Amino acid sequence: MIEQRYTSAQLAELLDAELLGPPDLELSNLAAIDEGGPGSITFIRSEEYARRWKDSACSAALVSRSLKHNTDHDPSQRALLIVDSADSAFITLLHRIRPEMHSNDGVHPTAVVDPTAHLKPDTRVGPGAVIGPETTFGTGCTVGAGVVIGARCTIGNDTTLRPKCVIEDRCTIGDRCTLQPGVLIGGDGFGFVPSPDGNGLQKVPHAGSVEIGNDVEIGSGSTIDRGKLSPTRIGDGTKIDNQVQIAHNCVIGKACLICAQTGIGGSTTIGDGVTIGGLVGVADNISIGAGSSIGAGSGVMHNVPAGEKWLGYPASPSSRALRQWAFMRKVGLDQLPKAPGDHEKQG
């Protein structure tokens, strides 16, 4: 997949790596350690990977310096390239091989751009995209085919909106963000109160907006609702996976990781650096402290203190949850002792 072939020595120079092995190996593609063959470069990021190196058919590996001495290696046949971080060096190579996603230059003639929108000369707007009045862009933005942006939105520099995203009126996206296909930003929050006449429900208008910081990624099909008065906020550097739901007035901190299909209830606050697994539900009006982590599939109904790991449905500190799971494992295996009188009481 690398268009240009490298020798092992050329790669070592490119990556500023220490080379252990022949300088003239021909390297032509990237591969996982158990999938590649002759000509493949792989990476060794953990002791587990280091152990697998001797059985790999790859010709060369990027190795994190800390694993240099854990990797059993014969330098007469294959090459190790010792780098600070195998992950980062591999990412450098991935950027070289990954084809840019297709995009037209300039504004496609079928796009509908309001005359009062402020595009930069380098803004790329795909076929059929719609940009509303007074919406402004920083430099270096790409708006994919079929994206709809409402009125008075602000899009920062170097931000990419993949096809079919929707950003409703008055929302803000920061710099260097990527919204994957079909992200839906700025729908009304889900708020209803009983009608004064006692007959059905009355909609609570949502006058707030959504404010997304810098370096945020949002996955395909995720939804973020606008706030009632103050905005729903996503902090800098936070990464959100596919089909995540962020309700109105949530405040999500910086550098959080939120995995697929998780939902955060309205007005909940999530601190910086929080990690949340997939398919987690977080109740409304609670707070998840900075640096905490929530296991996949959990249902969080109470505030989580900073730095704690929680797990389970209902979620509790993971030491408790693991004790619960161990107990239930015994129940499943029928290893719990019968308590006296059990037999009589069940009759």
Regarding 101 and contact with a copy of itself (CB under 8 A), the answer is: yes
Specify the stretch interacting with a copy of itself by CB under 8 A; choose among 8-16, 66-74, 159-167, 302-310: 159-167
Residues 6+ apart with CB under 8 A from 11: 17, 27, 41, 60, 81
Q: Which of residues 47-76 bind a copy of itself (CB under 8 A)?
A: none
Per DSSP, 118 falls in state B
Distance from C-alpha of 79 to C-alpha of 12, rounded to nearest angstrom: 10
Among 19, 44, 125, 260, binds a copy of itself (CB under 8 A): 260
CB atoms < 10 A from the CB of 278, how many? 17
Among 11, 145, 212, 251, binds a copy of itself (CB under 8 A): 145
Distance from C-alpha of 45 to C-alpha of 148, rounded to nearest angstrom: 41
Q: Which of residues 219-248 bind a copy of itself (CB under 8 A)?
A: 219-221, 223, 225, 228-230, 237, 239, 241-243, 245, 247
CB of 76 to a copy of itself, least distance (A): 27
DSSP H helical segments within the chain, as ranges? 8-15, 47-52, 86-97, 318-332, 342-346
**Which of 22, 19, 13 minimizes the C-alpha distance to 81?**
19
- C-alpha atoms less than 13 angstroms from C-alpha of 20 in its C-beta half-sphere: 16
| # of chain residues touching a copy of itself (CB under 8 A) | 121
CB of 25 to a copy of itself, least distance (A): 19
**Which of 183, 169, 163 minimizes the C-alpha distance to 117?**
169
User: One symbol per residue from 283 to 302: x for binding a copy of itself (CB under 8 A), - otherwise; what is it?
Assistant: x------------xx-x-x-
Specify the stretch interacting with a copy of itself by CB under 8 A; choose among 7-15, 48-56, 69-77, 184-192: 184-192
Q: Between residues 22 and 128, which has the closer beta carbon with respect to a copy of itself?
A: 128
| Active-site residue list | 248
Among 21, 150, 231, 253, binds a copy of itself (CB under 8 A): 150
